[in-house]
Structure 1
């Protein structure tokens, strides 16, 4: 007998022996059974898919031998208080639920019923949260000059299921505005008379369900006593002869004003030149604003100012002592000047407490830089704050201040074609003229200014002479911003790509960051380009 036949014989004898001994049936146990477990299996897989603001698709794995399912859904966290019930046939394995509340937690559970009469299964439970929804298609922030108030235009898909708008502030009770049928069908609502300089949260709802929202801060109101000036009025004469101590002029949006060498009257101590914060900027051709010795503050907001030439004109060029303690440029476009703010003359002992520049675009500034102070006189820049701004085509030093100063802070700025070969970000012309503090934070330096083709011996300086206490943080030099190693920007991050590779179109003044690998993409440079 060979080996295979022997194995077969042994196998037959073994199973015959088992039959003789007797094997108990599946129902003949010698121990008790808990009949509560003798029931239909529940669906082994159950999940919420395709979660949206007001809908969800529930999916489950079908149970063999089931004749139907019971699905229960409630708006809570596995409490199932007053659930909505759905009886579903055995062959169904999914259902899409619509009309849910946005940003809400729901619970769902499902169980199977047997086709053979066995008890139904246990529930399989899950919970999920619907997404937020945004049906606002356009939100327009507005400001009315005559009423001196903010307004908001809201647009959404016409005919959407909405009932009302809820307006909330940090303090006070929310305002409920019920929408008319006409407004719902048009998908448009004008909200007027909003408070100035106030944080608002505006929601559009369908019953309790939020369908869209918008959060913003309203614009500041014009100061009391303002006057609107249109393009037909003589702005220079107003500045020359006004008898008002606090002169507040709101220039007509989109208008053009030509003022040549205006001289502020002796009565004007505080001057504010303003314009609508959202409409087209008025354009002012200005060839040097001369302050009176009594002038204490100048604020220019929401204007475009330009000179005749970058070789001759300034915005402010003072050669005498004045009481000026603050100069502010906010949300302005400044271009084609020899310099923007200049102090000169041995008789000038002006103590400027604050020069503040915020949210501005500055272009085409000549040989005297953005801020200039001569070696003569006893003037002092106590605080210079330059934030959230863009500078391009400044051919010499960015700042050339040859007297000691206080604190110079530059933050969240973008520079391109700024600082000529051999020039500095700050020129003091001597160690005795250093400021007490010089900091550059979260800024980007693109290509420096040079004429024609770049030569390898060309570079720029941080501070001239070198200032060891310069603090640089969160800032980057692109590869075409070449720094003289003897005058370093200590702490600056050097990035290996050029301005053309990092910015969208720098030659046309579009500094939108297009390089997704650039480490300063989210937190450096002028925020308008991020």
Structure 2
């Protein structure tokens, strides 16, 4: 028994000695714990965590998919990190581990949490910010002042230009960069010092085709447009200087295809003005493929007898277009009064038209015809009528338009009046808002549409204000809203048709899109 006791005692000593030796072996480092911050500013993430005793370094990783993949890995000798040039408006997960001198003793990963970078202060260029050779770079002032813009070609990242920003640029919150190539994709980078504040892709517009007649260098000569039009070839694009006025002081008879437009100038948004103390006509017997007014302010000198077109000759015209333009103070915009004039397409798009008298926006005489009429994305107010035709048409489309103080409130005038003439493929009216009629000695009651019995009138998603008074001939299925024009719109009397009523159910889907 004594021998057995001695053996047990020796064994116990050996076990205790071995256990004590195991307890003093180096152990894995503790996981880091967040301390201080995990924040984002612009596209920069700032993180800090507690120091870990025995840590020789730290490993930091960022992911956007909970570490199924890793966006960025950093090795650090401090317990804080400032990670720059990340993606904007992105949620990142962040984790860290302590690195020991013996990497077998590294800590396990510690999740510090998730943080979302902010949206870029650089605004993505819209269609109106881009020309064929320039771009308007816009931003929102926030944080550090922006100092410069860099533009590179997207295809190869070749530097195109670096533009320093002035104090005036910072107040305006935009800068125009020029000297670009047409139909080319670029990337804008915005900087505060060396810090990137945003980036955006854009593609310049296609170059002008055909003959370009650039009148922008000629100023102080209001008659230069009228003098030039007879001299240039058909198919020309005439560029007018923004902010300049061009007079039509005697009848100009057109016999060629033309585009007349304000020249691209992102530093000046004021449209070139054509001032009418006379009007355009078509030359007798002419054949024209297309006539377009683009980004032009058309202004008459009186309501009594002024028109953009007052045609008295026979002509054949493919298209008459008014695009991105404004027209006001005319007896009528386009009047085909006599002669046999045939037009295939009449188009008004993205225009503001106001103060038109008793020959309406479009007046078609008995010997003329327009096949297809399209009025879209436009604001029409203070007009006595929109379309009047003494001949039939193939189709009429009115879509996404705002109407107010139209037509004349005498219970006789219509928005669309074909009398007994047929529109073969129908009249379609959709996504429009109709306000009150134009005051006529206190009367504001109006009618909507009149056409031959065989004309199909299709209408959908149209509203009229509670003070729109109908004398019959309504557009089908039109919804009368519960509030008047002055409560629906911001200031309709002065042409501000921004939707002011958040309860209006068509606020995001009806009327001229510029006001939604």
TM-score scaled by structure 2?
A: 0.73
Q: Cα–Cα, structure 1 residues 289 and 295, in superposed 2: closer, same or farther, change >3 Å?
A: farther
Q: Deviations over 1:76-100 (max 9, x none)?
A: 3526774456877xxxxxx896646
Aligned to 1:488: 474
Equivalent pair of 2:372/2:395 in contact (CA under 8 Å)? yes
Instruction: Check if 1:211 corresponds to 2:197.
Output: yes
In 1: Cα distance, 2:515 partner to 2:394 partner: 30
Deviates more, 1:436-445 or 1:194-203: 194-203
In 1: Cα distance, 2:77 partner to 2:393 partner: 77
Q: What is the aligned counterpart of 2:490 among 495, 504, 514? A: 504
How far is the alpha carbon of 1:238 from its aligned partner?
Answer: 2.0
Q: Cα–Cα, structure 1 residues 264 and 520, in superposed 2: closer, same or farther, change >3 Å?
A: same
Aligned to 2:134: 150
Q: Deviations over 1:162-189 (max 9, x none)?
A: 89735456xx444434748x66999797
How far is the alpha carbon of 1:263 from its aligned partner?
Answer: 2.9
Aligned to 2:396: 408
In 2: Cα distance, 1:308 partner to 1:160 partner: 47
Aligned to 1:176: 159
Aligned to 2:313: 320
Equivalent pair of 1:166/1:176 in contact (CA under 8 Å)? yes
Equivalent pair of 1:101/1:209 in contact (CA under 8 Å)? no
How far is the alpha carbon of 1:513 from its aligned partner?
Answer: 1.5
Structure 1: tracts of 5 or more residues without a match: 1-34, 89-94, 113-118
**Backbone CA RMSD of aligned residues:** 4.4
Aligned to 1:11: none
Q: What is the aligned counterpart of 2:275 among 281, 285, 288? A: 285
Q: How does 1:423-442 map to 2 (within 5 A)?
A: 423-430=413-420, 432-442=421-431
- Give the number of aligned pairs: 462
Q: Cα–Cα, structure 1 residues 339 and 390, in superposed 2: closer, same or farther, change >3 Å?
A: same
Aligned to 1:92: none
Q: How does 1:61-100 map to 2 (within 5 A)?
A: 73-76=60-63, 77-78=66-67, 82-84=73-75, 99=84
Q: Cα–Cα, structure 1 residues 74 and 528, in superposed 2: closer, same or farther, change >3 Å?
A: same
How far is the alpha carbon of 1:122 from its aligned partner?
Answer: 5.9
Aligned to 2:337: 344
Instruction: Check if 1:330 corresponds to 2:323.
Output: yes
Q: What is the aligned counterpart of 1:261 among 228, 241, 250? A: 250
Counterpart secondary structure, 2:487: helix
Q: Deviations over 1:34-66 (max 9, x none)?
A: x9xx99998999999755433557799x9xxx9
Aligned to 1:360: 351
How far is the alpha carbon of 1:256 from its aligned partner?
Answer: 2.3
How far is the alpha carbon of 1:291 from its aligned partner?
Answer: 0.9
Instruction: Check if 1:528 corresponds to 2:487.
Output: no
Larger radius of gyration: 1
In 1: Cα distance, 2:429 partner to 2:228 partner: 36
Instruction: Check if 1:518 corresponds to 2:510.
Output: no
Q: What is the aligned counterpart of 1:369 among 342, 348, 360? A: 360
In 2: Cα distance, 1:419 partner to 1:235 partner: 36
Counterpart secondary structure, 2:514: helix
Structure 2: tracts of 5 or more residues without a match: 1-22, 99-104
